[in-house]
Amino acid sequence: MLEKNWVKNDGKRQEYYSNMRQESERLSRLIENVLDFSRIQRGRKKYNFQLGDINACLGGIVDMLSPYAAQHGFTLVKDFAARESVPFDRDAVMQIAINLIDNAVKYARGAEDRTITIRTLPQGRYVLIEVEDHGPGVPHNQRQKIFEEFYRIGEESRRETTGTGLGLALVKKFAQAHRGFVEIATAKPSGAIFRVALQKAL
């Protein structure tokens, strides 16, 4: 349709191109999740831990995903602690951030507060990465199950979101590779805080 110049309106043409680009990026993320999960399952996932600025890494992801979030009516907000050099695998941390932000965009679409906050803060021997939304939150009885592979909230017939069910499972595995953990807290006044702890000394 675009190649044959059937869309004459420039605004509509740009909208179609933007939608195509967003869908292409979403499919690329899904494929990367499947490939990473396969590597982990076969014991072939390689990590490259290097000292670096985790805020800079996360900031780049926030900037990259801001147009995607904006298209769905969300604003991404950075709330980073003071710069601290810690060992981490850059690709794994990028995937953690991408999956958590994508998850927030998908499940908080009915929220009145359309901000998603990406936060870092030190906590003892860990550095924490948090992604906070103001959607419906996660029921307490599903806060462990949600990190299992292929598990997704809601009944299949009523589900409005798409995905592989691997994103949060990968977040947990990447956290464990950093000798850390994952957990979910309740945001105020509503919503969820997905928290990933990475150990400062590996």
- Give Cα separations from 72 to 56, 106, 109, 110, 156 (angstroms): 25, 9, 8, 11, 22
pLDDT given for residue 23 in this prediction: 60
If pLDDT is split at 50, 70 and 90, which confidence band does 7 have? very low
pTM: 0.80
pLDDT digit string, tens, across residues 57-88: 999 999 999 999 999 999 999 999 998 889 99
pLDDT digit string, tens, across residues 156-169: 433 445 556 788 99
CATH number, domain 10-199 = 3.30.565.10
3-state secondary structure string, 116-168? EEEEEEEECCEEEEEEEECCCCCCHHHCCHHHCCCCCCCCHHHCCCCCCCCHH
Name the nearest CA neighbour of 151 among 171, 175, 129. Answer: 171
Alpha-carbon dihedral 139, 144, 150, 152, rounded to 10 degrees:
10
- Please tell me which residue, 22 or 120, carries the higher pLDDT value: 120
List of residues 6+ apart from 163 with CB closer than 8 A: 30, 106, 152
Q: What average pLDDT does range 101-124 have in this prediction?
A: 94
If pLDDT is split at 50, 70 and 90, which confidence band does 155 have? very low
**CA 182 to centroid of chain Cα atoms:** 13
Q: What does the alpha-carbon distance between residue 52 and residue 73 come to, in Å, rounded to a whole number?
A: 32
pLDDT given for residue 124 in this prediction: 94
Domain boundaries, the chain: 10-199
